[in-house]
Amino acid sequence: MSPAATTNEPILERAPVLLRDWLTGSLPERARWVVNSLIAIAVLLAVFGLLFAFLTLAERKILGRIQNRPGPNRTGWFGLLQPFADGIKMLTKEDIVPRTADPVLHFLAPVAVLAFSILTFAVIPYGRHLVPVELDASVLYFFAAGTATELAVFMAGWSSHNKYALLAAMRALAQLISYELPLLLSFVPVVLAAGTLSTTGIVAAQAGWKWHSVPHWFVFTPWGAAGFVIFMISALAESNRSPFDLPEAESELIAGHLTEYSGFKYALFFMAEYFGMCALSGMAVTLFLGGWQAPLPVLEVIPSYAWFAVKLLGLLLGFIWIRATLPRLRIDQLTRLAWKFMVPLALVNLGTAAFWSLTFAWAGPLQLLRWGVALALVAGPFRLLGRGLSAGLGPRTYRYA
């Protein structure tokens, strides 16, 4: 958290920093740094832990509503205590480790998957003064930590000594390697435009409004919109969410890498999945949706962290909505989508972004030309690649004996 809270800002904007300084102000300099960091960790864990709890409830409620049923509504008011009931249930369940499993790796996998997904929370700017750790290459750090969770998924599948778990682990690796590429390629234009790998710098680059109404968010540029969509699709795959939840495809693999996990270890995997979803959504907000910036100048009265929360929740609802809509892909469809469609599109998008930043000075009618060319660079490859994506692989015909 940056200490530079200027006094001419609204009190709500400064409130978290003021509160922290009031708590730790009397400590010596060295201890203050440690205690400040510990406070940041505690707050992050508490906020995202609660978000995870209520996200599971929201997900079940929304899925229910979409399927025309009320969802959990028995535990507490509107089912609001359901996450806690689930937590107690998970804690009281027996912890079963298969006799032939590798006990150390089997224990380590859920710990590692959760640890790596929590690490990613460190560099997201949650508000104007709420950046837990400021790094020069924080985007790089984020994706490095996020990718490490896949190692833990493979660890879980391997150590379980179960054919379904191992199959799931191999699927997970194939999927995650495939989608790591478009995920990384989709944010390279952002780094190009912002000229920095630091998340605070990227948010700062999206500050300001055009004609006092259109924010300078990257999603409002042709390459930004395309990059955002590619990023979100890859994020779906990276966080093993439907329609890319192949590693735990229950119709084929029981529960995939979670097959041999029970009790709280299972809950840890679950938690890591939601943390990963939250972290990737937070990163998408930072990279494309202007981070904690308000959409309109007048709305700056509302503190920046509230705007971040609104955008984050919006993306999370999108995740849930997509889960409720789309059926699971086959593994060949999944990798085909990544390698034949998203990777080329992301590469072309890099060129679009380069064009966009080179033509920065164009004005007047040239501005129209700039938009036209950029949109054509986005839509053209999309149409062309989309046409060839399923060619020759159309609907399967089945012959019955």
Partner 1 sequence: MLGTGLLQGLAVTAKNLAGSFHDPDRFVTTQYPEEKTRLPEAYRNFPFLVSESADDPMGTLRCVACQICEKECPPQCIYIEKSKDKKPDAGGKMQLYPQVFDIDTAVCMSCQICVEVCPFEAIKMDQVFEIAATDRFTGLMLDRHALAKPNSYYHQIHPTEAAEVDGRLAAERKAAEEKARAAAAAKAAAKPAPVSSPQPPATPGAEAPRMPPPAA
Chain residues in the site for partner 1 (CB under 8 A): 62, 65-70, 321-322, 324-326, 382-383, 386-387, 389
Residue whose CB is less far from partner 1, 79 or 146: 79
Minimum separation from the CB atom of position 224 to partner 1 (A): 18
Minimum separation from the CB atom of position 295 to partner 1 (A): 22
To which residue do tokens 């501005």 refer?
Answer: 367
Structure tokens at 34: 């440690």
Minimum separation from the CB atom of position 328 to partner 1 (A): 14
Residue whose CB is less far from partner 1, 104 or 391: 391
Minimum separation from the CB atom of position 73 to partner 1 (A): 8
- CA 399 from chain center: how many Å? 42
Partners of 130 in beta bridges: 127
Minimum separation from the CB atom of position 292 to partner 1 (A): 28
To which residue do tokens 């790094």 refer?
Answer: 135
Minimum separation from the CB atom of position 390 to partner 1 (A): 8
Q: Specify whether the CB–CB gap between 206 and 217 falls below 8 A.
A: yes
Give the residue among 335, 331, 326, 171 at the shortest CA–CA distance from 256: 171
Residue whose CB is less far from partner 1, 38 or 389: 389
Residue whose CB is less far from partner 1, 112 or 316: 316
C-alpha–C-alpha distance, residues 80 and 83, integer Å? 7
Minimum separation from the CB atom of position 222 to partner 1 (A): 16
Give the residue among 344, 347, 372, 341 at the shortest CA–CA distance from 359: 372
Q: Specify whether the CB–CB gap between 171 and 247 falls below 8 A.
A: yes
Residue whose CB is less far from partner 1, 212 or 383: 383
C-alpha–C-alpha distance, residues 105 and 396, integer Å? 41
C-alpha–C-alpha distance, residues 213 and 64, integer Å? 37
Q: What are phi and psi of 212, to 5 degrees?
A: 60, 20
In one letter, which amino acid is 66? I
